[in-house]
Amino acid sequence: MYILYGGDFTRAPLVQWVLEEGKIDYELRKIDILKGEHRSADFLAINPAGLVPVLITPEGDALYEVAALMLYLADRHQLKDISPPLTDPDRGLFLSTVLHIAGEIQPEMKRFHFPHRFSLRAEDNAGVRDLAKSLVLGRLSVMDTRLAKRGPYVLGTRFSLADFYLSFWIAYLDRDYVCNEFPAIAKLYGLVRSRQSTIPYLAETERMAEAYAEMIKRKPGGVIA
Ligand SMILES: N[C@@H](CCC(=O)N[C@@H](CS)C(=O)NCC(=O)O)C(=O)O
């Protein structure tokens, strides 16, 4: 049995969705990052990096990095419907996209949501946020061009967890703007949003994103220190 440490305003739903897709037994333990529970001694004993999500494997290893958790579960449980297996020709494009989201989009999303951590002066927060957003939009523009040629999903006609991963961050950025600017991404988002298994997750992510945007407006100096 797995244990997933997650909670509201985190990327843990990405892992939870993979667990559900695979009908894998797990227990969800909620960490309230708004209350700083990810910095409590109890949680730091589990993940000294103080980051959520964390997946405890049946063997007792504590794993983190959301992309690694999704790939690990998909490989270990052979979830071929959402992840091309090791020798599948689509594996390259799949990994390239998943790692691009992890390495190039997620860090900018961190700046977008926590601009105060990347600016020396409070008056620069808005600029850090805007710059992070424009860098993500640049990445999405490249993705949009590729999807327009070979879509509607990242792997053409084949849905995979890469599509859900991308949609999750679009929901957390500014989905109306993104969907207006980028028609191929809008099509992908619409398709993912209409899948039975992803509807509740994306609808909840949209609600979380809206709630977080409101909190940032009220606390521009940082929702979480
Ligand atoms: N690279 C890590 C980053 C994890 C991460 O930043 N998680 C957020 C929640 S989505 C977090 O723990 N934030 C608390 C903080 O940064 O203080 C991953 O992708 O899993």
Alpha carbons 208 and 224: distance in angstroms, whole number: 15
Q: How confident is the model at residue 220 (pLDDT cuts 50, 70, 90)?
A: confident
Q: Is 224 in the pocket of ligand 1 (CB under 6 A)?
A: yes
Q: Which residue has the least CA distance to atom 6 on ligand 1?
A: 51
Instruction: Fill in the DSSP letter of residue 160.
Output: -
The protein residue whose alpha carbon is closest to atom 4 in ligand 1 is 51
Enter the DSSP assignment of 153. Answer: B
Give the chain's mean pLDDT.
97
Tens digits of per-residue pLDDT, 175-208?
A: 999 999 999 999 999 999 999 999 999 999 999 9
- pLDDT bucket at 221, cuts 50 / 70 / 90: confident
SS3 for 62?
A: strand
pLDDT value, residue 222:
87
- What are the pLDDT digits (tens) for 25-68? 999 999 999 999 999 999 999 999 999 999 999 999 999 999 99
> pTM for this structure?
0.97
Sign of CA dihedral 132, 133, 137, 143: positive
Residue bearing the CA closest to ligand 1, atom 5:
51
Whether the predicted pLDDT of 144 surpasses 90 = yes
Q: Which domains does the chain have, with CATH numbers?
A: 2-76 (3.40.30.10), 91-218 (1.20.1050.10)
User: How does strand 2-6 pair with strand 62-64?
Assistant: unpaired
Q: Which residue among 5, 8, 11 has the greatest number of ligand 1 atoms within 8 angstroms of its CB, and so is best to mutate?
A: 11
- Residue 141 pLDDT more than 90? yes
Instruction: Establish whether residue 3 lines the binding site of ligand 1, counting it when its CB lies within 6 angstroms of any ligand atom.
Output: no
Task: Identify the residue whose tokens are 């559900």.
Answer: 20
30 C-alpha to ligand 1 centroid (Å): 14
Q: 5-22 pLDDT, tens per residue?
A: 999 999 999 999 999 999
Classify each residue of 90-127 as buried b or exposed e, where b means 16 or more C-beta atoms within 10 Å of its C-beta.
Answer: beebbeebbebbbeebbebbebbbbbbeeeeeeeebee
Is the distance from the beta carbon of residue 198 to the nearest atom of ligand 1 less than 6 Å? no
Nearest CA to ligand 1 atom 10: 10
One-letter amino acid for residue 207 of the chain? R
| C-beta 11 within 6 A of ligand 1 | yes
Helix (H) or strand (E) holding 74: helix 66-76
